[in-house]
């Protein structure tokens, strides 16, 4: 799927994590970026790695194992930024895992190798309401615009939660 839904989930997690301490802007930005990490595997296409290969698109980087590894990295980064290790690690793992799980809800492409390295089976959810995004420059098309609009609508609640100003008007939204 294009990045909108993933970013929405990452941004909402960043807000939740920074509710009690830390900078909201930094946390929202960081976890939005974390939500996109699995799609770095898009590099597989120019490298000639087949879509269905373990390291092809939606392969290893979209697995729950990769999400656990990303969680550990987020924990370490969060700790360096003054957040509790466990909360930052949990948020990082959840956001990264949500990427693979959300991709199983899309109506095209191949499924997601959630269980890599134990299995290369590609999974789809039984219900797939999210329109799949065209890949690369094909995104700059009417179909691409439709997919972005549909996703922005579906994930609006996450964006509202992430960016809604804090109550009581007390201070800037940090």
Interacting residues toward Zn ion by CB under 5 A: 39, 103
Terminal-to-terminal C-alpha distance of the chain: 30
Does residue 13 contact residue 32 with C-beta atoms inside 8 Å?
no
Min dist. Cβ of residue 113 to Zn ion (A): 11
Nearer to Zn ion, 103 or 151 (CB): 103
Residue nearer to Zn ion on the CB measure, 14 or 100 = 100
- Least distance from C-beta 163 to Zn ion, angstroms? 23
DSSP result, the chain: --HHHHHHHHHHHHHHHTSSSS-HHHHHHHHHHHHHGGGGGGGHHHHT--TTSTTSTTSGGGSHHHHHHHHHHHHHHHHHTTS-HHHHHHHHHHHHHHHHHHHTTBSSS--B-TTTTT----B--S---BPPPPPGGGGSSHHHHHHHHHHHHHTHHHHHHHHSPPGGG-S---
Q: Pick the closer one to Zn ion by CB: 83 or 130.
A: 130
CB of 67 to Zn ion, least distance (A): 12
Cβ-based nearer residue to Zn ion, 56 or 71: 56
Closest separation between CB of residue 103 and Zn ion, Å?
4
Nearer to Zn ion (CB atom), residue 1 or residue 83:
1
């Amino acid at each position: 799927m294009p990045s909108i839904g993933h970013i929405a989930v990452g941004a909402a997690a960043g807000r939740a994590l920074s509710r009690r301490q830390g900078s909201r802007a930094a946390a929202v930005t960081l976890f939005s970026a974390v939500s996109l990490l699995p799609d770095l595997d898009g590099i597989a296409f120019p490298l000639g790695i087949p879509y269905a290969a373990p390291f092809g698109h939606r392969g290893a980087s979209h697995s729950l194992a990769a999400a656990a590894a990303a969680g550990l990295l987020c924990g370490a980064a969060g700790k360096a930024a003054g957040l509790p290790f466990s909360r930052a690690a949990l948020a990082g793992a959840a956001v990264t895992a949500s990427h693979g799980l959300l991709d199983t809800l899309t109506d095209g492409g191949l499924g997601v190798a959630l269980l890599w390295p134990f299995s290369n089976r590609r999974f789809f959810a039984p219900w797939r309401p999210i329109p799949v995004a065209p890949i690369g420059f094909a995104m700059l098309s009417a179909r691409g615009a439709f997919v972005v609009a549909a996703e922005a609508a579906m994930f609006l609640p996450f964006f509202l939660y992430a960016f809604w100003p804090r109550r009581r008007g007390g201070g800037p939204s940090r």
